[in-house]
Amino acid sequence: MQAHPDPRGVLGALSNLLPDTVHLTRLEVRGRTVIIGGLADNAAGLMEMLGAQGGFRDVRAPAAISRDPVSGRESFTIEFKLADAEVAR
């Protein structure tokens, strides 16, 4: 098992999963923990979608989801753990 996942692999996996309506402004990979932030039409739905993926576990929002006054979209921070090293390759 890879000790530190490749951030490019994590970004690639997220690019394939996230709908076009999600705009990421933050991607942080700390060991097997990933933190993403950005704007979405439905941040709670995004969390549910990520939680349903086999490669991600312990999906949570460490901060409150808020409405961005400029775009009207939801501003979010989501944290999760990589369950499978293959996700980040």
Q: Mean pLDDT, 10 residues at a time, over the chain (89 residues)?
A: 76 94 95 96 96 93 94 96 70
pLDDT of residue 54: 85
Global pTM value: 0.87
pLDDT of residue 88: 57
Domains and CATH numbers, the chain: 7-88 (3.30.1360.100)
| 14/18 Cα distance (integer angstroms) | 6
User: Which amino acid is located at 81 in the chain?
Assistant: K
| 52/10 Cα distance (integer angstroms) | 16
pLDDT of residue 1: 45
